[in-house]
Structure 1
Amino acid sequence: MKLHFYMLRFALLMLPVIGWSQTATIRGIILDDLNVPVSNVNISSGDLGTTTNDNGFYELKIPIERDVVVEFTHILYKRIVVKFNLKNGQDIEFNPVMNLNIEQIATVIINSNQRQFVEGVTTIAPEILRTIKGAQPGIENILKTLPGVNISNELSTQYSVRGGNFDENLVYVNEIEVYRPFLVRSGQQEGLSFVNTDLVQNVDFSAGGFQAKYGDKLSSVLDITYRNPIKFGITADVSLLGGSISAEAVSKDSKLSGIIGLRYRDNSLVLNSLETEGIVKPVFADVQTYLTYTFTDKFQVNFLGNISSNKYSFQPQNRQTNFGTLANPLALLVYYEGQEKDAYNTYFGAFKANYFASEDLTLKLIASTYHTTEEEYFDILAQYRLGEVNSNIGDENLGEVEFSEGIGSQLTHARNDLDALITTIEHKGDYEMDDNTFEWSIKYTHEDIRDRLVEWEVIDSAGFSINPPKSDVFNNQPYQPYQGPLVAFQNVRATNYVQIDRFQGYAQGSKRSELGTNEVFYNIGIRAHNWTVNGDGIKSNTQTVFSPRAQFAIKPDWDKDMLFRIAGGLYYQPPFYRELRDSSGIVRPDVKAQKSIHLVLGNDYSFKMWDRPFKLVSEAYFKHMTDVNPYTLENVRIRYRANNNAKAYAYGLDLRLNGEFVPGTESWFSFGYLKTEENIEGRGYIARPTDQRLKFAVLFQDYVPNIPELKVYLNLVYNTGVPGGSPSYADPYEYQNRLRDYKRADVGFSYVIIDSEKTYNANWKSAFKELTIGVEVFNMFDVQNSITNTWVRDVYSKRQYAIPNYLSPRVFNVRLSMKF
């Protein structure tokens, strides 16, 4: 809190003394006839003027108490002229719709809405985020329907992109990087996604080949923008899984605007449907706010704050999992004692000062602090019985275990604590000159990690303790007694105090121009990253890397609306704390940055079908990786070897067709092919843990023609199985088992009781702007998906059985959404 206070004082000391001017404000969002925001619209009134941003938003101060003519112009669209006469301090919202200028559209190739297209960025409408829900709602629920993005665990917000793992994805909120929890090992323990969809204004996503202005990760960038409110409003959402409420407002003088959101999530409905029965209390809550204060037309300060509390308590009681074949059905019965208690508390605050020196030059100063305290405590005794199942139809004992092939027990213990404080200060700037844009940044980050890792596991079968897999001492159990000392099957103990100092910077330039009769776009930039690892008992180590990146796009002068682009570069991922810590808990400061060469070839084909707009986006990619840090993946927990002893590659093809399959609604179909392999210590190439070969996804929206208030959505995902069926400690060259394919379909039905575009006579209806009630069916076809296997040993037969850990079955949910 002291740091936040000093940061505020620093920001206030920078402010000049401002006088209050006699002006009124016009603000709003400019859309085209397809309801797409239009950027770079010139808004002028005499000597006053501004332009819309990438989201179509503008704000213009005008003189008061006299007729003022405001002109809206854009090279692609017809001119709009409006007359205003406002009072002092009056603030109005004006949202014009610009129609295409037919005479000029044929000569303009890269228009105002194609920034994302030429940069290879996918833009997702915020309304889709708020409409399409799931077992774990949030932006990740929509990302999993995009090509190249793989999520095979509906209980988790973690995702992998084009062969990368969860740690290889950048997430920004209003240009500020945010982080995922450190200690989470399963989707059940995860709390809410950091991104509050009620606050979102814009979503951009890139699956590779992104620009130098984005940080040093190997796989993807998710760039979120929270909105600045332009009027008062309240939104609320309540369901059987929790609820959320957000409020937004603007001061009378329009200088202060803010939005705040509160969320509460209780996953008991989903977790109580899993095979392991017990008392579970998964309670997650957070509060976020985004504030903006405009001191002058040239200077404003933003604040982004977040406090989250995630608590997971579980007392397992019993479990029965049936597996095997029809000819040889088997079952695992487990009886538990003990409990697990986890807690993750996060505090995040960031100030951003924006100084608009001129129409062409913008300077920014960002300071942020991220603090997380995490606890993972459990003592659980699992006594298991592995047996044959009665499969005689008509027998009264059908489905019962009649003969035990093995019995045993497992005792697990953990006392893991982590305290991380990450502080950052950054200067950013951009300058526009003609058709050129220059951007730069200098950033310093200090990471202070305090970590205690204490966990062990003891396993026995038929009363005989099982030694660790790498032990050299074995006996002929159960016929020959073991006379050596008893040791835990797994035993990890470590205490680490680590500090990492990072200096980062980038410079890049973009240009739009012509090549013959074709429109082209160029972007070239370079990043530099220097980091030093220090800590108790750690020898200081400093490393530096440079990352050049480039993009090129061309829109040929063809009758068909097509855009071609190529992007690539040398991408580094300097190690974060998780990548420095090996499976035994030891921190290795000399771990190098993983390195990847990206090459992405893309094509966007826009066309009309059924007199409605559609777009087919195709991307082929190749990644060559060196200095790879191998890891094992268990549920969502990543354990690194902390050794750059591997090389790898990934290549594939992503296709996405989106458009209005039903008039007035956006839907899309996605297909992805991926192959990724690694070569560890020269032993040959094998599949990486994220080698998800095929992916097919559908996000489809529809409504009943005669009852447009009744709407439906379908969220369907099919992923082939990934390697992960082997024990976490196993040699990956000996175990290349794959999990079963992931198949899931979520469907939602909603009925709009009150529509904001209609008027109602009933008094109670006038209190709402919108009111919607809905029913959701998660995992509609009740498919048994699995995320990992539990390995059970039978000491008599010397066999190991892989028992799948199933994810959630079919679950029903009821939802009520409203706006005031």
Structure 2
Amino acid sequence: MRDAVTKKPLPGASLLVAETQLGARADSLGVILLSHPPGTLTVYISCVGYLRNRQTTVLSTNNKQVEYMLQPRSTNLDEVDVKAVREDANVRSVQMGQIQLSMPELKRMPVVLGEPDILKALTLQAGVTTAGEGAGGFNVRGGRADQNLVLLDGAPLFNTNHLLGFYSNVNPDMVQDVNLSKGAFSAQYGGRVSSLLLMSTRNGNRDGWRLSGGVSPVSARVLVDGPISKKLTLLAGGRVAFPNYLLRAFPVQSVKNSRAFFYDANLKLTYTPNEQNTISLSAYRSQDDFKFPGDTLYGWQSNVLTGRWSYLVRPNLQLNLTGLYSDYRLNVDGITPGLTFRFSSFIEQREGKADLFYTLNQKHKIQVGTNAILYRIQTGEAEPTGQNSSINPRRNEPEQGRELGAYLNTEWELTPQITLQAGLRYSAYAYLGPRTVYQYAENIPISAETVTDSTRYGAGQTVQAYGGLEPRLALRIQVAKATSLKASAGRTRQYVNLISNTTAITPLDFWKLSDRYVPPQIADQVSVGLFQNLRDNMFELSIEGYYKRLQNQLDYRFGADLVLNPALERVLLQAAGRAYGVEFGIGKNAGRLTGQLNYTYARSLIAVQTPFDELRVNGGQYYPSYIDRPHTLNLQARWTLPHNWTFSTNFVYYTGVPATYPDGLFIFNGEPVQDFSRRNADRIPDYHRLDVAFSKDTRFNKAQKRYGIWTLGIYNLYARKNPYSIYFTRTNQRTEAYRLAVFGTLIPSIAYNFYF
């Protein structure tokens, strides 16, 4: 089953034999295996987003392979979101904890400053939160931001934001699919313990050249795609921001004197020499620059390159070979006279993968594969700039690590009502030299004063090795035609860690590999859920509960000095974590009014595990982590109006994040000092916000190819001053509290998207 235009397989396409009413549905490779007596058959084939087709097939006594082509009907519809899943996939599929975004609807959502944003859309889903307004990264079911595996065309993104968190760093015009797995994801993937976010870019158009893009108050983007030849297509796009004129309009002096800029660019080439082979090359680059008033310039960039060869060995057997490179680099420039310097850090990942997909029959699929990763990290390097700088050069020794993995995954429909998905992954990791490793005295806390010896390892030598099995299991039981019960469980391991002692991701955060004193993070998660559709899939109802246990989480000693610290083990603490919650959701998928409502009750707790009383946080008891939000409510609605107008709205509410407030005062050397006795014992006030937007589609008819979409929106409609943080200062013998709001008023926006 193939797309008649792109010649790509069509997973989920249906085939029906009119004479016997025998039918089947295509697997993930677009293949249908069917047994039928010989004769002349009338066959009906169909797929969501394609014109239904009727063909006559002559079946002899021998095996026969037939390719059926379906014509897309997107030019005859208002705006088709073609999915490789059924409308009732939430009930019939074995996966749970899945979130899929509709890219056309994303561009009509009300967002800050009018720029469509993938990550902001994800934070409106159950179980997904953020550290605060304008904060970088996202958190899934109580996991930290660095515990999410974010893949763009299979390559990891180590930074996911522009402008310190105001925008996600992937242009939504380039993206075809966005899929977030919150639970036990496929054994094909490893390396993170919280979630898996898959984003794939579109292939270039094979019929002709197209131009599209958009303009908002702070950015502009453009995309072009088309055929270079009959077998080679191109997709290229870019985005650039110009927010400085808005920053200068702010009345706050610190904001008014700040400067910001970013750009990102994507390129994808797809070569299809024949129906069995597809070769693709995709590249991505982003750059951010930010200047705080006075003395500091920040710059960070990401670079990604992915090459993939897909070979259809047989109709039911496919081989994928992938090579990729990804890096994230940070530069901080100090510009204070006499103290000029440049601080830098980076993380690089090189990876090779091989995956084999085999469909035994319609009810049984097998997937096997292997991968090898080489990490290279610089945690920090500082050097003076200029001839009059008094800064001394400092450089941490780079880190290197190697990770090998192999997996086996199978999905088996045991009965029409029961489907089992089982997987097993094994990962082996080695921390490599050159490296100097310190030994410390036993039974006392690690410190510079307790060093007893050191060992020097040469280049390529194994300093420390870890590894283990990562089983995954999922089960679906169809208890009624439109109702199913699902359960899943899985273990994952993570060998890279983001070092940060702030609630939100900042430019000064850096990555570190697991070593002798920093073991890999391990997470075990179980989840159960009930899913039901009503009124011919018009309404979706769901309830999911989960429990997650985490080992070897990183916490920090009081007063930890992280930047340019060559021996981080002296300020790090090992902690245990646990997260649990219940997610309720209801969605309406058809009619003039569509949308979803979800509510989540969730907890994320952490406990520092150490035999030394002086290092225990909150007495060694479990306490709320920095991302603990017990209550979250999200409402999204979209109303289709006459004359191609659409009204959209979002409402969000969530509990404020934990905070540590001073609870006393003591005198030290004659000076008053604020006392903070318990970490995260208080909370910032709750957050809530209402956004609205109107969109106008300029098409006069559904077949019009050149058109535009105007979107007018208001972010934070009732201008609530939602607190981002609360901090304390002591002046004139008094302790005073101050509340910081990132957006303390409503923000109107206008955006224009065009298609030619």
Name the TM-score, length of structure 2 as normaliser: 0.76
Alpha-carbon deviation of 1:199? Answer: 1.9
Asked if the contact 1:30–1:38 (Cα under 8 Å) also holds between the matched residues in 2, the reply is: no
Q: 1:570 aligns with which of 469, 491, 502?
A: 491
Give the whole-Å Cα distance in 2 for the aligned partners of 1:218 and 1:708: 47
The separation in 2 between residues aligned to 1:299 and 1:437, in whole angstroms, is 21
> Are the counterparts in 1 of residues 192 and 493 from structure 2 also a CA contact under 8 Å?
yes
Could you tell me whether the CA contact under 8 Å between 1:43 and 1:51 is conserved in 2?
A: no
Paired with 2:748 and 2:25, the residues of 1 have a C-alpha distance of 47
Q: Whole-Å Cα distance in 1 between the matches of residues 656 and 605 of structure 2?
A: 15
Deviations 1:331-372 (A, max 9, x none): xxxxxxx23211113322110111111112111111111233
Say whether 1:177 aligns with 2:130: no
1:118 match: secondary structure = coil
Question: How many angstroms apart in 1 are the aligned matches of 2:755 and 2:357?
Answer: 37
Corresponding residue to 1:504 among 389, 405, 411 = 405
Letter in 2 for 1:129: L
AA partner of residue 509 (structure 1): T
Shift of 1:493: 6.6
Aligned partner (choices 697, 710, 723) of residue 773 of structure 1: 710
Deviation at 1:158, TM superposition (A): 1.0
- Is 1:198 equivalent to 2:173 in the alignment? yes
> Does structure 1 residue 425 correspond to structure 2 residue 352?
yes
- Greater RCO structure (CA 8 Å; 6+ sep): 2
Contact kept? 2:406, 2:426, Cα under 8 Å = yes
User: Which position in structure 2 is the counterpart of 1:72?
Assistant: 45
Q: In structure 2, what residue type is equivalent to 1:589?
A: D
Within the candidate set 304, 327, 333, 2:282 is matched to 304
Which stretch shifts more, 151-160 or 671-680? 151-160
Whether the 8 Å contact between 1:140 and 1:157 is mirrored in structure 2 is no
Structure 2 equivalent of residue 351 of structure 1? 307
- Paired letter, 2:214: D
Please report how far the alpha carbon of residue 550 of structure 1 lies from its aligned counterpart in structure 2 after TM superposition.
Answer: 3.0
Q: Does 1:606 align with 2:548?
A: no
The partner residue of 1:701 within 630, 633, 638 is 638
Q: Would you say 1:377 and 2:333 are equivalent positions?
A: yes
Matching residue of 2:220: 243
Q: In the TM superposition, what is the alpha-carbon distance from 1:607 to its structure 2 partner?
A: 0.6
- Residues 633, 741 of structure 1: alpha-carbon distance in 2 compared, 3 angstrom cutoff: farther
Task: Tell me how far apart the structure 1 counterparts of residues 682 and 90 of structure 2 sit (CA, whole Å).
Answer: 46
Q: Is the partner of 2:538 in helix, strand or coil?
A: strand
Among 107, 110, 121, the alignment partner of 1:142 is: 121
1:817 aligns with 2:743: no
What residue in structure 2 maps to residue 165 of structure 1?
A: 144
Contact 1:747 1:780 in 2 (8 A): yes
Structure 1 residue 115 displacement after superposition: 6.8
Mapped contact 2:411–2:419 kept (Cα < 8 A):
no
Task: Report what 2:738 is aligned to.
Answer: 803
- CA 1:520–1:444 in 2, change beyond 3 Å: closer, same or farther? closer
Indicate how the Cα distance of structure 1 residues 121 and 29 shifts in structure 2: closer, same or farther if over 3 A, else same.
farther
Hey, what's the Cα distance between the residues in 2 that align with 1:56 and 1:360? 9
CA distance in 1, matches of 2:356, 2:557: 40
SS of the residue aligned with 1:496? coil
Residue-pair matches, total: 649
1:690 aligned counterpart, secondary structure: coil
| Rounded Cα–Cα distance in structure 2 between residues aligned with 1:235 and 1:688 | 43
Percent of aligned pairs with the same amino acid: 17
Alpha-carbon distance between aligned partners in 1 of 2:350 and 2:633, rounded to the nearest angstrom: 40
Q: Deviations over 1:396-425 (max 9, x none)?
A: xxxxxxxxxxxxxxx999842123332111
User: 2:683 — aligned with what?
Assistant: 738
Q: Does 1:656 align with 2:582?
A: no
RMSD of equivalent CA atoms:
4.3
Greater gyration radius: 1
Quick one: which amino acid aligns to residue 495 of structure 2? P
- Amino acid in structure 2 at the alignment position of 1:436: H
Matched ranges for 1:475-554 at <5 A: 495-514=396-415, 518-538=417-437, 540-554=462-476
In 2, Cα distance between equivalents of 1:585 and 1:74: 45
Distance in 2 between residues matched to 1:695 and 1:780, nearest whole Å:
19
Matching residue of 2:617: none
Counterpart pick for 1:754 among 681, 693, 699: 699
Deviation for aligned residue 1:518: 2.5
Distance 1:589 1:350, change over 3 A: same
Question: Contact 1:192 / 1:284 at 8 angstroms: preserved in 2?
Answer: no
Instruction: Please state whether the residue corresponding to 1:556 is helix, strand or coil.
Output: strand
Distance 1:587 1:422, change over 3 A: closer
Please tell me whether the aligned partners of residues 552 and 566 of structure 1 are also in contact (alpha carbons under 8 angstroms).
yes
Could you tell me which amino acid in structure 2 is paired with residue 628 of structure 1?
A: Q
Match of 1:323 in 2: none
Alpha-carbon distance, 1:553 to partner: 2.9
- For 1:771, give the aligned amino acid: G
With over 3 angstroms needed to count, the CA separation of the structure-2 counterparts of 1:137 and 1:725, relative to structure 1, is farther
What does the per-residue CA deviation read over 1:6-29, in whole Å, with 9 as the maximum and x for residues that have no partner? Answer: xxxxxxxxxxxxxxxxxx992369
Check whether the contact 1:257–1:292 (CA below 8 A) recurs between aligned residues.
yes
Q: 1:651 to 1:580 in 2, by over 3 A?
A: closer
Task: Decide whether the 8 Å contact of 2:265 with 2:286 is kept in 1.
Answer: yes
Aligned twin of 2:65: none
Shift of 1:299: 1.4
How far apart are residue 144 of structure 1 and its match? Answer: 0.8
1:283 aligned residue (248, 261, 267): 261
Distance 1:188 1:262 in 2: 16
Which letter does structure 1 place at the counterpart of 2:595? S
Verify: 1:125 aligned to 2:53, yes or no: no
CA distance 1:607–1:313, change in 2 (3 Å): same
- The residue number in structure 1 matching 2:240 is 264
Aligned CA distance change for structure 1 residues 781 and 631 (closer, same or farther; 3 Å)? farther
Question: What are the residue-to-residue correspondences of 1:54-133 with 2, within 5 Å?
Answer: 72=45, 80-81=53-54, 94-95=71-72, 118-133=95-110
Q: Is the 8 A contact 2:553 2:577 kept in 1?
A: yes
Change (3 A) 1:40 1:588: closer
> For residues 240-276 of structure 1, what are the alpha-carbon distances to aligned partners after superposition, in whole Å with 9 as ceiling and x for unaligned?
11111112213452x1123211111234466554843
Report the AA paired with residue 583 of structure 2. Answer: D
- Displacement of 1:605 in angstroms is 0.7
Distance 1:585 1:157 in 2: 15
The answer for the alignment partner of 2:200 in structure 1 is: 225
Amino acid at match of 1:282: A
Amino acid at match of 2:195: S
Q: Please say if residues 209 and 598 of structure 1, whose CA atoms lie closer than 8 Å, have aligned partners that are also in contact.
A: yes
**Displacement of 1:113 after TM fit?**
7.9
Deviation digits for residues 268-314 of structure 1 (CA, Å, limit 9, x no counterpart)? 46655484342232111111022210122111211110122211123
Instruction: Provide, for residues 306-336 of structure 1, a one-character-per-residue CA deviation record: whole Å limited to 9, x for no partner.
Output: 1222111232xxxxxxxxxxxxxxxxxxxxx
- 1:157 positional shift: 4.4
CA distance in 2 between counterparts of 1:349 and 1:659 reads 39
Given candidates 789, 803, 811, the residue that maps to 2:726 is 789
SS in structure 2 of the partner of residue 153 of structure 1? coil
Aligned amino acid, residue 493 of structure 2: Y
Q: Answer whether contact 2:596 2:636 (CA < 8 A) is retained.
A: yes
- Where does structure 2 lack aligned partners over 5 or more consecutive residues? 18-23, 33-41, 58-68, 75-85, 384-391, 438-456, 503-507, 611-619, 663-673
Aligned to 1:416: 343
User: Is 1:27–2:2 an aligned residue pair?
Assistant: no
1:113-135 CA distance string (max 9 Å, x none): 86755344222222122322522
Give the corresponding residue for 1:153: 132
Deviation at 1:753, TM superposition (A): 2.1
